[in-house]
Structure formats: structure tokens, C-alpha cells
Structure 1
């Protein structure tokens, strides 16, 4: 993996097939076609490709490295289960928590997996024995009706919630989504690039005409931040999504946003929406300000689910996930923990913008996200021609000019 910059795109993808997703989502969608990969990919070296596209080499290589390491890590877990990938664990830990949590979890996971039986082919048996994730994929209507409402998963014993989060209603009394901590998103503003525009104070401010094309947001390909889309839609409806589409300059990964903020590139926007973890990795500068919106930082819960018939077997793991050690790991990485004994790194009187369990139960969240993203793209693309760069390409091209 040391000399990947001197390898051709085809050589990299053949050696590490998992990296194709990174290429497709970060400016090289053309390699999704096998013919292009075999022909152009066989002669185009990665370093030349990045320079031609003006994509930041360091940021892109970090994405490649993370993807390869993640795949190797999960393959090692699956191999300890005898190669069975159809059941047992579905684990997706967000950036910022990957390193410390995975190091702590691996001994426990391996101990569980060594004696794990091969699941049967029935649907319920093929469902994950344990889920640990941040996001909304497990809130889709089919999964809820088929597994959650039928009692396949069980809630961990309820404990007192951290006093800083007590009024948020983040712990549900009915569903078995056991929240560990919160992924939160804030605004990061470059006052120099902002110029004479007023500093935004709320999420609603960003929908005003004066902020058109002034905001960069997290995206993967043409899929934009679930948390932002859902939050804007809940409060401002379809008109809010249309306004958001006009507000967004481009989409990118947070690591690339930070690289752009450190540059003198005038093509970049002044406002960035990113996880609080990434916001606190920005080198101190007099022109950069982290804005905790007055109407609250956006919330996406990190939670785990465990099958009822596995609860006793996984007791050690459940106790660990709900204990103070994991809670403090989360808090130290700017993921506020629900554990009552943990000191979270939060502003005084911090407020949060959370969908709420009632809203989630009333909607097929995964289907809603797809619909909102489509609505957003209609407004975002506007009169763009089809041969213009995609959202991610525009963000990467701008950042690459640093």
C-alpha cells in the first residue's frame, strides 16, 4: 500500500476491490464502467489522475487507506466466525471513534465469534445478531416491521441519562435502539471568506437568498447529509429543501473541507456543515469560527441493537457499550455520551436539533431520505448541464486548487 500513487487505477482496484467505491464517490465515477477501468484505468496512474483533477493527494490517500484498513479489519472479524458474513455483526463506527472503539471492542468481539453458530437461512436468523451504527439505515419500514416490531431485538436496561442530554428524549422506552452517544453537526465559518455577509446564527439563516452557493456539506457522490436534509424538511418542508439546494455550493468529505479551509483558494465557500469532531481538528486561526446554532446542533444517534436470544451471550459486550469507559471515549471525541457519569465536551447551555422518536416512528425514514435527496438535487442542479462536474467533483476540484 506504500506506493499506490505510482500504481495504475486498475492495479489498485484489482488489488483492493473495495477502493472502487472511493474512486466513484470522489471524482472518478467513470471507473464504475468496467470497460473504462480496463482501458483508461490500465494506463492512468493514481498520482497523475489526482493532479489532473486537482484533487488533494493527501486527503484522497487517507480515504483510500481508511477503506483498505476498514475492509481488512472486518474481514478479520468475519474470518474468526469461519467466514460467515450473512449474520452476526453489522458494525459501522464513525470517524473519530473508529480507532479507540475498535481497539477496545476487538477482544470482546473475537471472544463472542469463536463460539458463534452458523445462522440458518430463515430471514430472522439472517438478521444481524448485533448492530452498532450511526445513521438511519436501520429505521427503514421493512426492517422495523419485520424485526423490531416482532421483538427480535431487546432494549438494554434503562439507566439515568446524562444531565446535559436529559431533556432531549434520546432514550426511547419502546424500541430496542440503545443509544450510546450523539453524532452532532455544527457550522464552521471562515470570516475572511464570509466578507460582509452576516454570521449565520440558525439553520434557517442558511436558507436565505444571501447565502446562495455559500455552504459546503458532507456528501457521498450525489447523496447528501441525511441529518441536514431531514432536519430542514421537518421544520421547513419541501420549500426548505428547495432553498437548501440553492444554498449548497458543493459536497465533500469533512477531511477535504478542512484541507480547503487551510488554503487560500477563493473558489471555496465561507460556510461548512461538518461533525463537531472534525470541526475541532481545524488548526487554530483567527478567521475560523465554530458556530453552535442557536436552534441546536444537528443530532444523529450512535446506537446498538442486540437480538433477544443473544442478550445473555453478549452481556459482557452490552455492559461495555453502556458503561462509562465507552462513554468517556465518545465524549473525548466530541460525541456526547448518554452515560450519566461522563463529562461531555459541550458549550454551556448547548442545545440540540433532534428528529425525535415519534417522528421516526411516523415515517419510513430511509424512503424519506431518498425522496428528500431527489428533491434537493432538482433545486441544487438548477440549470446545470449534464456534462458539468458532479457535486463531489466540484468540491474536490475546488479543494485541490489549494
Structure 2
């Protein structure tokens, strides 16, 4: 279907399809990248006139634009931040931890191409990083009430809105989903009771949170042996954790609440100097400056990226590395239709890719090589019997108030 023609204005085209700008730039019309030019000249300039000014063949260029729009719609190209309601167009939505997104995308792109060739049908999917969706997509999920508004497969990370009371009541309690985990699952996870007893979530993997210390900056203090040690008054403003702009990672806060209560949240807030993305933590550590905090709560994937490991220790606190889950929801009504896809996602091949990237897999046929790393999991009793959405709000309020009071840096 033709959606763009020569009578449309440049502004109309690029406002509706901003991803087409790169095609305009490739054909000598890079001036429309300037927002002021686009807003002043764009509404007045028809596509036909613009093409004649740069001597570009009109029919070929319009065909190129329409093909790009068609390809975009076929792939389901959109961002959740802008159009969360369009998730229902997808077969698969994946919101992944930063370190997992690239290896997943490479493997899934190869699978998707072969799947589409064999099935003679486009696999509608969207893969994005999980970071920053707490205030956009996950807020939208709290408002969803119909199973028809969801993709057939959703992979997500952390303790998010899929654990909130509204989603439990509207979907999980009605058993709309199916658990595709092997039983028993990989021994690393079987031993901590990671399988969903309600058989709604399929647990794929975990983002393991560890404590990295810059040993030369610990000074007179002994290196922490437990997560609880971080709550000591002597560690005020000496810890960095995942966070930004007043939001701090629930994958850290909820386990600390579970272990040490709201008083523990206050003490942790006093110890935290600032919130950063894990990649920024790595950069801070590798700067080798002596005026940076000495302790970092970060994913194992990023801890392994630190260049000079002679200066640091990757600590597994006595309670265990915190398990931030990577889980999948598969509609029961779609389970046969998406079987080839879920077989790939739960299979040994992808399990190996995940484990190599330091995201241990639940697949029992794969060796995670955790080298005796103890794991700490919140537990299903806590998740099923707690209003997680309300608790997150309470924890955030208490943490931020104490963080500001004790000199935390935003």
C-alpha cells in the first residue's frame, strides 16, 4: 500500500515517519536534520519540489520511502516509550538487561531470519534494553486489563510490573500463561526454588548482582563480607548502585528490604554515594582516581568488564549474589503457534550463549560455570503475598528521603 506520494510536504513525511530522515540524508537532503529548517521550510516544501532541487528521480525515491515504511511496519518497528499500546502487534517483546541485549539480538536475528524464511511469514518482534522502562512501559502495564493487549511472548527483567497486584489479579490468577521450564531446571536455580509454583512465569536466566571493591581505597575498613556489612555507619556515602535521577534499582532495594526491613533501606541509603548505570561504574573504577567510592553493587557481566582486575575484588557476599530475574510470559492460547520460538528461547543453544555472557541459564543441559557462587533469590512466597507495586513506592520514598538527608549525590 502506497502511503507517501509527491504531493506530501517534507514536514508531514518526516513528522509521521522520522526514521526516513536517513534516506533523505543519503540523497543530499541532510538540511532537514536541522529542526529549525524542518519546521520553517518543511511545511511549505512538497516532496516533488524538494526532489527536483537535488535532481533525484521522483518515482525511485518515493518507492524507496514506501518500502522503508512497509518494512518498518512488518517488523513492528516502534519504541515502547512512544507507543506502548502497540505491543499487541508483536509476537515477541523482549526487555533485557544491558549486557544480555546484544548477544540475544545477534542470536535472535539469525533465528528470526530462518524462521521467517521457513514459515513464509515475518516474525513481529521488538527487542529493547530494560533500563528506563520503569517509568514508561511498566507504568503502562499497570493499566492493562485485557490479555488481547499483550504480545504472545514477553521477556522482561527485574522485579517489574508483571509482579504487581493489578497484573496478578488480571492475568496471573486467571492462569493466562504457561510455564515452559524443564523440570527440574538447572541445578544452580533448582536449589534456590527459582521455578514459579503457579506455572505462569518461565524463568529464563538471571542478572547476578555482586559487590565490587577497589581494595586500595578500603583504607582501614575491612572488606565487606556480607550485604549487611554495607549498612554500617562507617560506610556512609561509600557505595555506588544502579540508579539515576532519583530512581534506584528495585533489583537491589527489594532484596535489601526482604533481608533487613525498612530500617535496612534507610541504612543502605546512607551508605550510597550516587546512582549510576553499570557501564559508568566500570568507567569510574577504571579511571584509577583515588577520590571515587570504593564499593559498587553491579551486575557480574559488568564486573567482568573492568580492565585492571588487580586493583579490585569481585565479592560474593555471604547471603549470595542477588538474583535479578529474566523471565518470560507465554500466552497459553498461543503456545502451539509460537512453539518454534519458545523452543529456541528455552533451548540449549541459547542457554549456552546466555551463560557465556555471564547470565546463567535455567536450561539443565548447560553448565553455567558459576564456580561455587552462592545465589540469593527473593522467593515466591514473598513475591506472591506482597503488594510489590505499593512496597516499591514505600521503599523508594524512604530510600530517597534518607539518601538526600545523608548527602547522596544525584
TM-score range, shorter chain: 0.7 to 0.9
> Secondary structure in 1 aligned to 2:148?
helix
Aligned residue in 2 for 1:125 = 148
What displacement does 1:15 show? Answer: 7.3
Aligned residue in 2 for 1:363 = 386
Kindly tell me the number of residue pairs found equivalent between the two proteins. 313
Question: 8 Å contact 1:179–1:304 — kept in the other structure?
Answer: yes
Aligned residue in 1 for 2:86 = 85
Q: Scaled by the length of structure 2, what TM-score is found?
A: 0.71
Aligned residue in 2 for 1:103 = 106
From 282, 286, 289, the counterpart of 1:265: 289
Aligned residue in 2 for 1:275 = 299
> Secondary structure in 1 aligned to 2:189?
coil
Q: Note closer, same or farther for the CA distance 1:225–1:76 as it changes in structure 2 (3 Å cut).
A: farther
| Unaligned segments of structure 2, at least 5 residues | 1-16, 20-34, 37-69, 79-84, 125-143
Aligned residue in 2 for 1:114 = 122
Question: 8 Å contact 1:81–1:114 — kept in the other structure?
Answer: no
Deviations 1:118-173 (CA, angstroms, capped at 9, x unpaired): xxx98221123210111122111111111111122122154322123321100123
Between the aligned partners of 1:337 and 1:383, the Cα distance in structure 2 is: 39
Larger RCO (alpha carbons 8 Å, 6+ apart)? 1
Between the aligned partners of 2:123 and 2:378, the Cα distance in structure 1 is: 39
Aligned residue in 1 for 2:176 = 152
Between the aligned partners of 2:218 and 2:181, the Cα distance in structure 1 is: 48
Q: Note closer, same or farther for the CA distance 1:244–1:101 as it changes in structure 2 (3 Å cut).
A: same
Aligned residue in 2 for 1:27 = none
Between the aligned partners of 1:376 and 1:267, the Cα distance in structure 2 is: 24
Question: 8 Å contact 1:334–1:345 — kept in the other structure?
Answer: no
Q: Scaled by the length of structure 1, what TM-score is found?
A: 0.72
What displacement does 1:290 show? Answer: 0.6
Question: 8 Å contact 2:301–2:357 — kept in the other structure?
Answer: yes
Point out the more displaced range, 215-224 or 362-371: 362-371
> Secondary structure in 1 aligned to 2:240?
strand
Q: Note closer, same or farther for the CA distance 1:250–1:108 as it changes in structure 2 (3 Å cut).
A: same
| Unaligned segments of structure 1, at least 5 residues | 1-13, 17-37, 40-74, 385-389, 393-402
Question: 8 Å contact 1:136–1:366 — kept in the other structure?
Answer: no
Deviations 1:89-120 (CA, angstroms, capped at 9, x unpaired): 3311212221221122235557387377xxxx
